[in-house]
Amino acid sequence: MILNRLHSELERLSKSERRLAEVILADPQAVITASTAELARRASVSDPTVSRLCKSLGISGFPDFKVQLAQDLARNPSQVNPVISDGDDTRTCIDKLINANQAALEHLRNALQSDQVDMAVEALNRATRIEIFGMGASAAIAQDAQHKLFRLGTPACAYEDNLKQRMVAAAADSDSLILFISFTGETRATLEVARIARESGAFVLGITAPGSPLAQLCDITLTSGNALEDTTVYIPMATRIVILSVIDLLCTRLALRRQPQINDTLQKIKRSLHATRVRDSS
């Protein structure tokens, strides 16, 4: 999302460039039909400033900028200011929230690397036992993951309690896979458990912030959507949706991977999940 980047980099920009950015943010729709000169005039800056701003965003030039912006606007039609403010009525809140969540998913689309996903699925497939660790807000997600994974044939269990996590991590072996769910990947307690997990020889899979201390300890890391934090559209919920979607993807791939012989595997998944939904009432 170009507009998000513009907003989050407002600080970084110089006076004229910021003025320009503000004009763009104020009415993005108008930009896609404008020329360099028009836009420059509207922001009371010179033409080259427009080019420069594009360059500083890593875009080759203004025409390209327009095209990218057009695409973004098409995806998020109601690009209202994504930050919820006090005076917003309920309808506005609904729209902003949904926009933010959709944007989060769009972010995920780009952030996910299919080879990483493949490797994670391969590891999940090999494991004879799957342990899932999530604390605080991630505990609910871990529980959700357990629900999905253990239906796919491998014993899976979620642990919220740090002490239990330690014990489970210590008891794990190379047949185990331990899935860490941690938004920031910086919690001390979680890091210690991860170290224990490594020593035990288990495969360590992280859904966390790439580059974080926790990620360093993982065999494979998939994004927790932490990059969304820098974004104006950041809403705590958004990252949860990102993590849930990642887990969903892993389960879907694993299911496909495990039953390649049956042509319409997905029907099976669907049916099984459908049954789930009805029987135990989701």
Binding residue for a copy of itself (CB under 8 A) from 8, 46, 154, 252? 252
> Among 19-27, 49-57, 134-142, 197-205, which window interacts with a copy of itself (CB under 8 A)?
134-142
- Which strands, in side-by-side order, build the sheet including 203-208? 156-159, 129-134, 176-181, 203-208, 220-223
Shortest distance in whole angstroms from residue 278 CB to a copy of itself: 6
Verify binding: residue 282, a copy of itself, rule CB under 8 A.
yes
Nearer CB in complex with a copy of itself: 16/131 = 131
Q: Which of a copy of itself, DNA, none binds 240 (CB below 5-8 Å, type-dependent)?
A: a copy of itself
Is there binding between residue 209 and DNA (CB under 7 A)?
no
Q: Is 248 an interacting residue with respect to a copy of itself (CB under 8 A)?
A: yes
Please tell me whether residue 48 binds a copy of itself under the rule CB under 8 A. no
CB nearer to DNA: pick between 19 and 151: 19
Find the binder of a copy of itself among 37, 98, 170, 171 (CB under 8 A). 98
- Regarding 146 and contact with DNA (CB under 7 A), the answer is no
Q: How far is the CB of 71 from DNA (least distance, A)?
A: 17
Is the Cβ of residue 16 or residue 187 nearer to a copy of itself in the bound state?
187
Residues 14-33, interacting with DNA (CB under 7 A): 14-17
Query: Residues 37 to 66: which contact DNA by CB under 7 A?
Result: 37, 44-52, 54-55, 60-64
Contact residues for DNA, defined by CB under 7 A: 14-17, 35-37, 44-52, 54-55, 60-64
